[in-house]
Structure 1
Amino acid sequence: MSEPRWLTDEEQHVWREFSVATRMLQAHLEGQLQHESNMPHTYYEVLVALSEAPEHRLRMSELADARKSSRSRLSHAVSRLEANGWVRRESCPTDKRGAWAVLTAEGFAAIKAAAPGHVEAVRESLFGPLTAEQVVALGEISTAIREGLSPRCAAAAAAAEAESACAGEVPEESFGVA
């Protein structure tokens, strides 16, 4: 077995700064949404995805993929959003195992009310401290990281799906009942 490629002092510094900054940013945005809108960030992201979708609806599997979320985690979130009256599930007429998540009028009102404060928090905490050049660089860096991780994440998701299918678990499209 070969020796690990340890981080240089500079890489270690950058890694720690990045790690702390992203955790702090996520915690700040989570707190802002909880405080001002009584909504976890995860639910906000689901509502945003549905608000931007044609007819405010997405198949559950598409919604999970769009949010980079596991099917079970998304199903739990949608159940909570249903309890709030913000989302409803509809059966897929062409696929008995499939289900749609549909944004309700109440859900649209909730996202519309939450968005201004959330956008201001993002602007203030993420973009406020950066120069225009740093914003461009952050976009390029984020894209490079996402593109580098996408194949690995897709492979891991496929392996997990295959493993759950072998274990006799419910297929990914079976979101009709929570």
Structure 2
Amino acid sequence: MQDDTPELTKEAVTAWAQLVRVSQAVLTRVEGDLKKAGHPPLAWYDALLELDRARPDGLRPYRLQERMLLAQYNLSRLTERLAAGGYVEREDCADDGRGQVLKITREGRKLLREMWPVYRQAIEAHFASRLDADEISALSRMLVKLR
């Protein structure tokens, strides 16, 4: 049986490994900056931002997970913590008596505003300042292709 799959080059494997390693390293640095400033993890910001964008209707938990920037393997634990902190409220879903809708609270919007300057600075320090405008544009185009 003949395999028609194109050959995977060593360079492609190396580039893949670098992409994963760089992504993890940058996220670790951003998380460290947030922690140093006394803020919760980036996943909190990510979830709150998506809920803020969904105002006033909120989002069902599965929709929130689809929109999140970061992979969130335990969304229920994250939303429990956000709700316990008063940053998110749950409402019964009108369309589905068993389901819930998550909505950001005033405290959640306040936390977003407090976290953004630290997050913005981390993006600048660990990403944007290391590339020029042309490189950022080229990287963006490549990542869109991969998506």
Calculate the TM-score normalised by the size of structure 2.
Answer: 0.86
SS in 2 for 1:58: coil
Q: Within 1, Cα distance between the matches of 2:133 and 2:89?
A: 41
SS in 2 for 1:75: helix
Equivalent AA in structure 2 for residue 103 of structure 1:
I
1:27-176 counterparts in 2 under 5 A?
27-55=28-56, 57-67=58-68, 69=71, 73-146=74-147
SS in 2 for 1:11: helix
Any conservation in 2 of the 1:87–1:102 contact (CA below 8 Å)? yes
Alignment RMSD:
2.2
Equivalent AA in structure 2 for residue 73 of structure 1:
N
- The structure that is helix-richer by fraction is 1
The alignment-based identity, stated in percent, is 27
2:12 counterpart residue number: 11
1:152 counterpart residue number: none
Equivalent AA in structure 2 for residue 142 of structure 1:
L
Q: Within 1, Cα distance between the matches of 2:38 and 2:115?
A: 6
SS in 1 for 2:97: strand
Q: Within 1, Cα distance between the matches of 2:132 and 2:66?
A: 32
C-alpha spacing 1:14/1:94, structure 2 compared with 1 (3 Å) = closer
Cα offsets for 1:51-94 (capped at 9, x unmatched): 22222722222112112756x71111100111111111111123
Any conservation in 2 of the 1:46–1:63 contact (CA below 8 Å)? yes
Calculate the TM-score normalised by the size of structure 1.
Answer: 0.72
| Alpha-carbon offset, residue 8 of structure 1 | 2.9
Runs of 4+ in structure 1 displaced over 4 angstroms?
1-7
Any conservation in 1 of the 2:59–2:102 contact (CA below 8 Å)? yes
- Unpaired stretches in structure 2, ≥5 consecutive residues: none
Count of residues in Structure 1 that have an aligned counterpart in Structure 2: 145
